[in-house]
Chain A
Amino acid sequence: MRFLKRFYVGIIFFFLYAPIIILMIFSFSDSKFRGHWGGFTLRWYVELFRDREIMSALYYTVIIAVLASLIATIIGTIAAIGIHDMGKFGRNVIINLTYLPMLNPDIVTGISLMILFVFLRVERGFMTLLLAHITFNIPYVIFAVMPKLKQMNKHLYEAALDLGATPSYAFRKVILPEIMPGVVTGLILAFTLSIDDFVISYFTTGAGVSNLSIVIHSMARLGINPSINALSTLMFTTVLLLLLIVNKRSSNNSRKENAV
């Protein structure tokens, strides 16, 4: 039974990761074609760093994701606290409004934002792309933080005030630590969604500012350049390494705590 369980999990992971592994293997193939091994080469890695289009797309992808997720997390956390303290009617209205962009297909959000920017005569580019990403990230942050606020004992904050803390001190020292797990979840979620997004970015960006998904999509007619495989390999290994390090450190940490 135990073997079956493991086998089942193993199969799931195999199917999840097999395509990525194949892609990684072919980033070393000296051929522009998938499914055709042309001998070992590091050529695509060299070309990747020479390819200014891919490099600039990588730059924009990362910087937009970082900025958008940070800003969205700040706005979303503040909004969640505000919504939490609203009356029942107001809260319901705002929560349902917040659900809308999450339920909408991306293309509706993307085109609506594009029309808005065109209507306001804003030239599309870095700023519009950033604003769009912040916009679609905020709801996710709000819904990551809300449950933590609900779980929190509301008397904690009052007790802090009774004991002489100013509201902002109480916020920093009492509320924030309590809801931190939700805030971090929201941040990570927003970051992931932002890196991953294609449709909304496609409609809200302008000349010269493209993220990776747009560049890869535009290669569809002539074939995906294998440098993209090389880039995916690098990104995948970086993220994997980071995760391993973080997990290792935090498990060390909790072991220490347990020991104490």
Chain B
Amino acid sequence: MKRSLKAKLILLLAVSLISILLLSGCGKSYDATLRVYNWGDYMDKSIITDFEKEYNIKVIYSTFTTNEDMYVSLKSGGSTYDVVFPSEYMVKRMINEDMLHKINMDNIPNFKYIDDRFKNPPWDPNNEYSVPYFWGTLGIVYNKTMVDDPVDSWEILWNEKYERQILMLDSQRDSIGLTLQMLGYSMNTRNLDELEEAKQKLIEQKPLVLAYVGDEVKDKMVGGEAALAVVWSGEAVAMKWENPDLEYVIPKEGGNLWFDCAVIPKSSKNKEAAELFINYLCDPEIAYRNADYIGYSTPNTETMKMLDEELLNDIAAYPSDEDIANAEVFDDVSDALEIYDRIWTEIKAK
């Protein structure tokens, strides 16, 4: 008796849930659908709703965690997307592997607002395949009350004074890249000896490192649990805002300059709608709302004019040309990917 009552209750619950959900699932009809694939929490979703209303195009929005996840999902086939937001080195790889449509720039009039500094980038020399979405740098964030040495170089991450107070990024390209740069090599090296040297250096550093982290870095630094951390600039802006003791530096070795771009994969079934959407995102007003929500740096010159003076002068958010003069941009290293993978596994296993 006891059990069957439970069963009935559960059944009732299930039926009512289904009916509620089915009812709420109904909606109006749209002219077309657009499938967007983006990083998690990387767009103000009210923009999508407005886009749907304005153009009567339904947007199906999905998210991914890393460039590599996204690449596998596209490469394995069976799912189609119209607009995707990979980082620069992944854009290059996708261009090389003929995975992208050329964008018809006549359909993206708002492209004129994109800062000239970011046009015709090395990964897409004629700007045929990609439109910049957000950009930033890789640097060090440190707690002024806990670090008394000047922070201006990656070398501080190897300073034994800060044993177990250093947070490294749990990201293969970034962590190996910064070590290579400190050693005076290119972040994009394919040279085995240079990579082995970087590996040794990182293994040497391991006793000093508190943890290899992902997004927890924000909580830990804001809470004062560590003195130094390697972070992406956009995160640094949010962290500084929350804890004024934190400061962000682009190391003198150059640091890394990164870009996330909008591209149209070959599997797209609705290229016109995709171009419409990319153009919409480049609209200064829309780009402002987006930048305000995410807190990363926009490549849109008109949008920058709407931003706070304070934010524009923040080196973490909008570094000057000088600050990023030596910064390196990641190149596609797919031919040396195996070495990178092996080295990274060896470092993490130690």
Contacts and interface: CB of A to CB of B under 8 A. Distances in A.
A208 B58 CA distance: 11
A208 B61 contact: yes
A214 B37 CA distance: 13
A62 interface: yes
Given A32-B242, A63-B21, A118-B76, 5 more contacts: A52-B48, A114-B76, A122-B78, A183-B7, A208-B62
Contact of B41 (A123, A183, A184, A225): A225
Nearest to A59: B21
Nearest to A185: B3
Interface string B214-227: 11001100110000
Contacts of A183: 7
Contacts of B13: 242
A253 B79 contact: no
Given A66-B18, A242-B13, A253-B2, A33 B42 contact: no
Interface string A204-225: 0011111000110111111111
Contacts of A234: none
A122 B79 CA distance: 9
B63 A223 contact: no
Interface of A: 31-36, 50-53, 59, 62-63, 66-67, 70, 114, 117-118, 121-125, 177, 180-181, 183-184, 187-188, 206-210, 214-215, 217-225, 242, 246, 249-250, 253-254, 257
Given A36-B219, A208-B60, A253-B2, A221 B40 contact: yes
B1 A184 contact: no
A219 B43 CA distance: 11
**In the A-B complex, the 5 residue pairs with the closest CB atoms:** A218-B40, A208-B60, A218-B63, A206-B79, A219-B40
Contacts of A33: 218-219, 222-223, 242
A177 B1 CA distance: 10
B286 interface: no
A218 B65 contact: yes
A118 B74 CA distance: 12
A220 B40 contact: yes
